[in-house]
Amino acid sequence: MPSKSFQIAALLAFLLIMFALFQLGTHKPTSVQRAAYHWKTRFERNSYGNEERDSFLDQHQIKKLYVKMLDVDYNLAYGIYPASETQIEYYNGDNPDSITYIPVVYITNAVLKNLGQDQITYYAQLFLRKALRIQSYTQKEVKEIQIDCDWTETTRDKYFALLVAMKKLLPGHVFSATIRLYPYKYHEKLGIPPVDKGMLMLYNITNAANPHQHNAIFDYIEASKYISRWNKYPLPLDYAVPAFSWTILYRYNQFNSIFTGDLEKSGLAQNPKLQYLGKGIYKVKESFEAYLNKEVYLRVGDVLKVESAGALEMQQAVSLAKRAGMNAQSTLAIFDLDMNELRKIPSHDIEKIYTITP
């Protein structure tokens, strides 16, 4: 017969196990800070034609929007110039909302290559002025500004100097910077942006210029190579996951251009001048003019490839975000707020993306 002390120990062990199971059963899933990107050239809120989008925001309790306000690029003819400046409607006093708006400025690496040291303060002022236009529409003070740039080792110093100049101009604001997977993993080589926090972009994994890649928007196996529990980034991080598609044009087996439009959803895929080769790939049999997000002349022999990221890819990206350290205090942003893409994703899958299970 077991001793009395053994019986007491066994009882305590049983009680501890039952308590742990009870705690596990009562520990409810929590939600991250829900956000989305608005990446169009016109921004409107609570206006005619946006009912579906606004309903999506309300249904999923999304209270934070990253709004692209400016694309900055460089070419020999214009120098550094606004490739795209988002149009905004001015506030009319109706339908106030509870959303926090964060303006985003996208800067190409070509801008940094051609940015003179004596121009840094001037362009820092210009970019911030363009970003802060959103305050006129929302009637809300901007608290955070995000800079989106895929910098390199050779442009790092000028990019970081630009960020420092912006912070000096607006010392009371939070500044965030997008972080691609390569500078995330190799931060000792690429450096840490001098900002308050980063947004880890869990998409655009491989090179779209390679016609043989699987999916340049998101590839779980490739993305996994960059994420490690032991490789902690020295900045607080938020996370962005993909929900978009694009069409890549290859000419003479070389990358030619990329379009935000999806030829399958636009109906262009049914054009008899295109031959379907399988796996989202089409070959041009007869030259013709087409429209994706802009006019393009397609030539005989051109190849079009449709790539997309939906519910599965978002869930896989979220699993990587958790591995990188995402928690209930983190912001998780869907890129982007395009209802052509999001209406294909069941509501429960969207909720799953924003939920952290115990």
State the average pLDDT for the chain: 88
Instruction: Please state, in angstroms and rounded to a whole number, the distance separating the CA atoms of residues 223 and 204.
Output: 9
**pLDDT above 80 for 84:** yes
Q: What is the pLDDT of residue 235?
A: 96
Mean pLDDT, to the nearest integer, of 74-80? 95
176-220 residue pLDDT tens? 999 999 999 999 999 999 999 999 999 998 888 887 788 999 999
116-131 residue pLDDT tens? 999 999 999 999 999 9
With tokens 């901007």, the residue in question is 142
Q: What is the pLDDT of residue 356?
A: 81
Q: What is the pLDDT of residue 130?
A: 96
CATH architecture of 29-244+309-356: Alpha-Beta Barrel (3.20)
What 8-state DSSP symbol labels residue 84? E
**pLDDT above 90 for 94:** no
Q: What is the pLDDT of residue 60?
A: 96
315-332 residue pLDDT tens? 999 999 999 999 999 999
- What are the CA-CA distances from residue 161 to residues 14, 195, 237, 297, 339 (Å)? 61, 11, 21, 41, 37
Q: What is the pTM of this model?
A: 0.88
What 8-state DSSP symbol labels residue 89? P
Instruction: Please state, in angstroms and rounded to a whole number, the distance separating the CA atoms of residues 262 and 236.
Output: 35
124-183 residue pLDDT tens? 999 999 999 999 888 889 999 999 999 999 999 999 999 999 999 999 999 999 999 999
Which one-letter amino acid corresponds to residue 305?
K
Kindly list the domain boundaries of the chain, sorted by start residue. 29-244+309-356
Q: Reduced to 3 states, what is the DSSP secondary structure of residue 26?
A: helix
